[in-house]
Each structure stands twice: as C-alpha cells, then as structure tokens.
Structure 1
Amino acid sequence: MSIVVTAATGQLGSLVIDELLQRVPADQVVAVARNAAKAAPIAERGVEVRIADYNDREALAKAFGAGDTVLLISGLDPNRLDQHKTVIALAKEAGVARIAYTSVLGGPEADFELAADHRATEQAILDSGLPYTFLRNGWYSEVYTDQIPVQLAHGVIGSAGDGRIASAARRDYAAAAAVVLTGDGHEKRAYELNGDVSFTLTEYAAELAKQSGQTVAYNNVSPAEHLQVLTAAGIPAQFAPILVGVDNAIERGLLSGRGSDLTTLIARPTTPVADTIAAALKR
C-alpha cells in the first residue's frame, strides 16, 4: 500500500514528491513518470519509480496496486480527459483505496473552457465509486512570474480587467496535496484551494515594477486583441482562446478565492505573490 503520484517529474508533481518525503518514509511513495532519466533524481531519494505514460494503458495498469492512495495530477495533453478516465478505470481495477485529483477552483461551478475537462474528470471519479478527494487548485502565481522577462520588456498584457486573482505558489498546492495524501478524514471531500490575498493584474504589474526598478504597466486589452497577442507570441492556436477564457473568468470573479481551505490544510499562510516575484527575479 503506497502513495502513488502520477506525472511525478512535472512542475507540481516533483514538489508533491518533495513534500511527501518530509512526511513519510521514501519506501511509502511511488512516482509514476514517463521518462526514467528525468525521474532518476527521485529514485536516488529512495522512491520507487514506475515508468508509465497516460497513453500507455498496459504500463499504467502496472502503476497501481490494491490499497494504494493515488494522486492523479491533471495532464496537459489535448486528450487529457480520455487519459484521466483511463487512469481512473485502471485504479479501480487495481483496488486502490482512494484517488485524489488536482481539479480547478470552483469545480462544477467553473464554467470556462479550461475547467471543462476538470469538471468531467470529477464526474468520472464520482461515477467510478472510488473514495476520492478533489483538490480544486486556483491559479498558480508562477503562471505570471514565469513570464517576467517578457513582462519587463513589454508590460503585462491581458483581458482580465480589474478582476482579482487569489493565486498561490505551486509549493503551497503541493503541500496541501501531501497533507491530504498522508492524513485521514479527507475522503469524499472537495477542497477549494487559493491564496489568502487576491490581486489585480494592475497591482501585480505595480509590484513587479517596484521590485525590479523598471517601468511595468498592465495593458488591459479586448479579448480579441488578447487573442492576437497570444497567437503572435507563439501560443498554439487551440490553446490561446482557452487562456483568453481564463482572463474572462478572472474578470467575472471566478478565480478571486473561495475561502481558506489551503491555509487550513497547510497550517500556515499561503505564499504572497510578492514573494514569488522576488524569487523569480533572483533566478
């Protein structure tokens, strides 16, 4: 009976592994990864690595065992819903004890396109009858801070208006996942996870300007203009409208926060976006 983390070498998965190893012995953790070389640093820490791709049903079938607790980290592939359904079906066949899923803030009430696969995955888990925990993650602060070089050169561009964003650092969400995976009392629970303090993109730009010493402004454009900017920047044509849809959701308040579940789970304040900006500027 192990704690099995899928997509374990990804940006979130690697942090979840790190957080788990602060709480339980390495021999209780299993990392599912596509690439053995990329997973080697995890294996060196004493964690069992099982090589499997979301598209490889045969390999995935060997990734889960009876009594395991599984963290299904949502994929990025265009056909991720089918991949998620495969994981759920194989986990059920294996007799896992519980499945946790990294969903989206608001769950069924999140009506924007990016949330559609999350809503459907939650329903597939419910339909499976497996004991579950939904980790409804809000926006990651790194979604913005990873773009700092571009923002310093061209400003912050979006179509979110004055909508507020209650983001948190990836490690905050990873810590919450580790708490849920290693603790009791989380079955049949849906946690709405977001940062303690929200901000507008205007406020974000001002903080970046303050810390960098450069002029940075937020340029709020129309959705059509935003789509053109993203496409010109090389964002794939099928994904750019999804990002525009997220900004529309922000403008409508859907990512402005839904309580203090994240702080409660990790037993500390969430990481302020100013701290994530500072860390990014030091890299």
Structure 2
Amino acid sequence: MNYLVTGATGGFGGYALDFLKEMVPISTIYALVRSEEKGIELKEKGFNVKIGDYADASSMKEAVQGIDRLLFVSGAPGNRQVEHRHVVEAAKEAGVSYIAYTSFAGADKATSPLVADHLFTEKLIEESGIAHTFLRNNWYLENEMPIIGAALNSGKFVYAAGNGKTGWALKREYAEVAAKAVSGTEYPSTLELSGTPVTYEVLASALKRATGKELDIVGAEDRVFVESLVANGMPQPVAEMFLSFQHDIKNNSLDVVSSDFEKALGKPLTSLEEGLKELII
C-alpha cells in the first residue's frame, strides 16, 4: 500500500507526513513537491518524493502512478477548479483507491465565496467513484496570527466579524485526522471538523490569559480593521483579503457545530488558551 501526501512542503502537509510516518512504514509514503529542490529536506527525513504541480495535468498523472491512498490538500484560490480536476482525473486513471480531501466547513450550507471550489471538487471526487472522506476543515488558529500579532504589538485586539463564531483548532489537529484518514482509519464520507464555535471576543480573552497581557478588545468597522493590520506591517491587499474572511465569519460561514472532530481524533481538542500558548511562546 502506497500513500501520497500533496502540499507536502506546506504547514498542513508537513504535519500530516509526520503523523502518517507513525502509522504506516515511511518507505510507503510519498510526498508531492513542485521541484527536486523543494523535496531535498523531505528526502533527508526519509520520505519518497514525487514531482508534480496541480496546474500541470501530465505531471499529476505521473505523480499518482503506483499510489493507493491519496491525501489531497486543496490548492490555493485562483484557478483551483481546473487544477483540482487534474488531480482527480489523474487519480481515477491511476486506480487510486481512496482520497481524503481537505474541504471547507459546512460546505453544503456555507455562503462564503471560498466554498464553490470545494463543492466542485467534492462533486468531482464523488463522480469519480473513488472511496473518499471529505475533511471539512473549519478555521486554523494559525490563520489568526496576523490579527494576534497586531494585538500584541499595539495593545488592541481589533476585529470586524461582529458576533460571528468560528470553530478554531490547531492546524496539527486537523492534519492528524487527515493522516489517520489516509492511513486507513474507517471514517464516514464526510467529517465536519470544527472546534466549539466562539466569537473573536472569546478568542481575545483567551489571548489575554495565555500571554498575561492587558489588551483592549475592539469590535471595529471594516476600515479600522484594515488600518490596524496595515499599521502593523501587512500590505493593503492582504489586509483586504483578511477583511473578506471577517465578513464570512460575520455571516456565520464558520459557525458549524459538530462532534466529528474529537471523535475522529479520539481525544479532546486543545483549548484556545493552550493553543495560543503553543503558537506564541
């Protein structure tokens, strides 16, 4: 049985590889990278490396040859539907028996513009006939590090998501479930992986406890939110993108209540306070 982890040089893929090597022989694990150079470190750790790029259909056909089980980490927004089609078609042609795909929380109900690509990909996988698990990941706590960094720098925790709630958890926790899925753990075809949904005010309070720092918690208008990030070194276009995430959260796109995550992990999720300590200290 051979396993392929895509997005292997990213944070999620890296965590997944580390978990997977504790579950199956490392000699059976392949890591997908975009160039030989990017694969050097992974080779040194003992992983097999395959070269491929979602945008290049022929490279993906080559990369999935001989692979039985695939951890398909979603690509970056942009040309994602075309790229994801390349992956799924290559997997089907190569006889891949199982795909674990990192999707979006509550994808069939969410209103976020980010959802369309994930629903498209879920449908592709379903239509391929390949056995699968859709890992509908909520928000990584790591995604909030620019907001958290700005708060610790300025003394003001500024957010624009109103009372919208998010089911934060650590990236490594999502990746552990992904590794378990691709290793062969029996899961349903869809897992809603969400922590307990809470507001930014709750997150900010956890940050105060984790750091011992006194912070002003500021529910701000859009303009003030963007200005706060830019003042702390974020380029304007990136700050605008972060504002779009705030809008999604304000519209309850990530307010997903599910017990799937802790059941799949087989243990409680790390608390927000402990998770923040892990990321900051």
Partner of 2:186: 185
249-258 vs 199-208, which moves further: 249-258
Q: Does 1:108 align with 2:108?
A: yes
Quote the offset at 1:147 in angstroms: 4.3
Mapped to 1, the partners of 2:90 and 2:112 lie a distance apart of: 29
CA RMSD of superposed structures (Å)? 2.3
Q: Does 1:97 align with 2:104?
A: no
Matched residue of 1:62: which SS?
Answer: helix
Superposition pairs of residues 152-167 of structure 1, within 5 angstroms: 152-154=152-154, 155-167=156-168
Q: Does 1:141 align with 2:166?
A: no
Partner amino acid, structure 1, of 2:219:
N
Mapped to 1, the partners of 2:118 and 2:224 lie a distance apart of: 27
Give the alignment's TM-score, normalised by structure 2.
0.89
* Identity in percent: 32
Q: Which runs of 5+ in 1 are unaligned?
A: none
263-272 vs 248-257, which moves further: 248-257
Quote the offset at 1:29 in angstroms: 0.9
Mapped to 2, the partners of 1:82 and 1:281 lie a distance apart of: 37
Q: Does 1:20 align with 2:20?
A: yes
Partner amino acid, structure 2, of 1:97:
S
In structure 2, relative to structure 1, the CA distance for the partners of 1:142 and 1:10 (3 Å cut) is same
Partner of 1:234: 235
Q: How many residues align?
A: 278
Preserved contact between residue 32 and residue 52 of structure 2 (Cα < 8 Å): yes
Quote the offset at 1:56 in angstroms: 2.2
Q: Does 1:6 align with 2:6?
A: yes
Partner amino acid, structure 2, of 1:171:
R
Superposition pairs of residues 30-41 of structure 1, within 5 angstroms: 30-41=30-41
Partner of 2:172: 171
Preserved contact between residue 205 and residue 218 of structure 1 (Cα < 8 Å): yes
Quote the offset at 1:229 in angstroms: 5.7
Partner amino acid, structure 2, of 1:168:
A
Give the alignment's TM-score, normalised by structure 1.
0.89
Partner of 2:218: 219
Partner amino acid, structure 1, of 2:58:
E
Preserved contact between residue 114 and residue 245 of structure 1 (Cα < 8 Å): no
Mapped to 2, the partners of 1:36 and 1:202 lie a distance apart of: 45
Quote the offset at 1:260 in angstroms: 1.2
Mapped to 2, the partners of 1:212 and 1:110 lie a distance apart of: 33
Q: Which runs of 5+ in 2 are unaligned?
A: none
1:73-107 C-alpha deviation (Å, 9 max, x unpaired):
01114112211111111111111111111001102
Q: Does 1:123 align with 2:123?
A: yes
Quote the offset at 1:281 in angstroms: 2.4
In structure 2, relative to structure 1, the CA distance for the partners of 1:17 and 1:235 (3 Å cut) is farther
Mapped to 2, the partners of 1:202 and 1:35 lie a distance apart of: 43
Mapped to 2, the partners of 1:229 and 1:114 lie a distance apart of: 24
Mapped to 1, the partners of 2:226 and 2:115 lie a distance apart of: 19
31-40 vs 69-78, which moves further: 31-40
Partner amino acid, structure 1, of 2:108:
P
Mapped to 1, the partners of 2:31 and 2:248 lie a distance apart of: 33
1:1-55 C-alpha deviation (Å, 9 max, x unpaired):
4111111110100000001011111012110011333332322232210011222
7-16 vs 247-256, which moves further: 247-256
Matched residue of 1:109: which SS?
Answer: coil
In structure 2, relative to structure 1, the CA distance for the partners of 1:235 and 1:63 (3 Å cut) is farther
89-98 vs 197-206, which moves further: 197-206
Partner amino acid, structure 2, of 1:55:
A
129-138 vs 75-84, which moves further: 75-84
Partner of 2:49: 49
148-157 vs 47-56, which moves further: 148-157
Matched residue of 2:93: which SS?
Answer: helix
Partner amino acid, structure 2, of 1:21:
K
Partner amino acid, structure 1, of 2:221:
S
Partner amino acid, structure 2, of 1:50:
K
Q: Does 1:268 align with 2:267?
A: yes
Preserved contact between residue 101 and residue 135 of structure 2 (Cα < 8 Å): yes
